[in-house]
Amino acid sequence: MMLPKQTFFFLCLLADWSWANEAHRRATNETVEYMKFLETRTFFRKRQDNQRLIHSLEAKLKNANFSSGNVTLQTNNIQSLVFKLTCDFSGLTINSSYLEKAQTRHIMQFPTELTQRACKAREAPQELRLICIYFDMKYFFQDDDNSLLLNDNILGASLVNHSVSSLRQGINISFWHNESLERYDLTCVFWKEGAGKASWGAWSTAGCETILISSYQVLCHCDHLTYFAVLMKLSSTEISMELLAPLTYISIVGCSLSTVASLLTILLHFYSSCLTWMAIEGFNLYLLLVRVYNIYIQRYILKLCAFGWGFPGFVVLLLLLWKSSAYGRYEIQIKTSQENDANSQNTSICWIKSMEIQWVFVMGYAGVTSLFNLVILIWAVKMLHGLHCREKKWESRICRDITTVLGLSVLLGVTWSLPFFSFSDFLLPQLFLSTIFNSLYGFFLFLWFCAQKRHSDLEAETSSSLQMIRTGLQSNHSPLRSPQPSSLTCSASPVPPYGTSHQEGGVEEDMAHPET
């Protein structure tokens, strides 16, 4: 049975209508889902990715198959509008009433000139599509200066497949604010792609005019289509000549103090030379332990001074030449807990701001020095233990050896390696031990050198007394009388010169009294 032509034609129209509605629904859902995706990716993307994301949204709105004439798509922070225009376009006004989720009031007015150039460029008039996007977030349009935007609102408009610029009538964009804007300098700007360094664009004022309608409304008159916003800066007040002179002097004094503080910060970094001198102490001890004989080095002290002061200075100079802004204000977070509430407060010091640079130029420098000196100290303890194993009465020298090892630990700066154990259960004990030992480091060095001075004086006095006794005994002996053994001369041995090396006992003496 054949269907009537009217029925067949009606069924075809119904199928076509159903297919169009399904395509419209699918395009709408895909675009809205992508807008939601953009909102959730704001804190996980790099700035360079924003250009691709924005262009992808524009492409979806451009190619989507919308059956109705005008389409409005909304999420919490992004709203999109699509308008189908013809060559007999008579102008269009869009205000925030079109958007239910718009946080603030705004209006965009498009002149009749908008479609004229596009219509003249084609032989047959076709449908034109105007896309408007409203962002209630500035994340995708952050410039290198992280500029402050009015209400964080960005309004964008584009005519699909056509560039609109140099309009005679221009486009009017009005922004409102709930509070007075008299304290701010307001500037209408547009987003210029490729003008930024770290970002994918920058805000520019070219082709835009700023008109302050009232203290609550700003009108931007621009001659092209793109993304628009209003920059906000605190207004500068006029300063009288009477106040200019004292303010200038205060600025000079303040800048001078800041310069001095920066120099002190650099000097503080230069104090890493202390670590270098600790490494030099370890190197000197290494020479006494390994190269026992023939350790004379020409101009040894001069070379040590050149390395001890010159190498840290070279490191600081290298950092200044590479990144002079590395020194500045460094925030240290201090946690305070009261009952169940945990709060944190910050304290500031002048130091190296970047943690990466600290790990290389400070922690790495200290780590290499501490590791080298720890190896030397363990080597020295091992040699002391080996010497005493060959002695019969080594128990009487345990106290002296412990004192020697403790003194060498201070001299080599072993206590400065404690901060490298600040993890897990070692954190709290390390904090106390590091604070105690390193704050008393200078005092420990003072005690070490006092003990060395006293020991040297006793050795010199003993050597002088033994020499006088030998001289007196030799003068009392008769030439015909054979010398009788003396308990002093038999039991006492000559004291070796300080700093020389001998077999067995000589190595031990050098380890107990290293020279720097």
Q: Which domains are seen in the chain, by residue range?
A: 15-234 (2.60.220.50), 259-333+345-472+492-512 (1.20.1070)
Residue 219 is predicted with a pLDDT of: 92
pLDDT band for position 190 (50/70/90)?
very high
How many angstroms separate the CA atoms of 491 and 474, rounded?
17
- 178 pLDDT higher than 70: yes
Query: Region 482-491: what's the mean pLDDT?
Result: 34
* Predicted confidence (pLDDT) per residue in 51-110, tens digit: 888 888 888 888 877 666 788 888 888 888 888 888 888 888 888 776 666 667 888 999
Closest CA to 86 of 131, 117, 118, 128: 128
Please, what is the end-to-end C-alpha distance for the chain in angstroms? 116
pLDDT band for position 237 (50/70/90)?
low
How many angstroms separate the CA atoms of 72 and 101, rounded?
11
Query: Region 220-242: what's the mean pLDDT?
Result: 81
Q: What is the pTM of this model?
A: 0.46
Q: Where are the beta strands (DSSP E) in 24-170?
A: 70-74, 78-85, 92-95, 106-110, 128-135, 154-159
Q: For residue 77, what are the CA distances in angstroms to 133, 134, 138?
A: 11, 8, 10
- According to DSSP, residue 126 is labeled -
- Amino acid at residue number 167: L
Coil vs helix vs strand at 392: coil
Pairing of strands 217-222, 171-176: antiparallel
* Predicted confidence (pLDDT) per residue in 410-445, tens digit: 778 887 777 777 666 667 777 788 778 777 777 877
Query: Region 391-410: what's the mean pLDDT?
Result: 70
Contact in structure between 87 and 115 (CB atoms under 8 Å): yes
User: Residue for token digits 């198959």?
Assistant: 65
- Sign (positive or negative) of CA dihedral 211, 139, 190, 133: negative
Q: CA angle at residue 8 from 7 to 12, to 5 degrees?
A: 115
- Out of 210-224, 332-346, 358-372, least confident range: 332-346
Closest CA to 78 of 47, 93, 56: 56
Beta carbons within 10 angstroms of residue 18's beta carbon: 10
Instruction: List all residues 6 or more positions away from 314 whose beta carbon is below 8 Å from its beta carbon.
Output: none
Residue 345 is predicted with a pLDDT of: 63
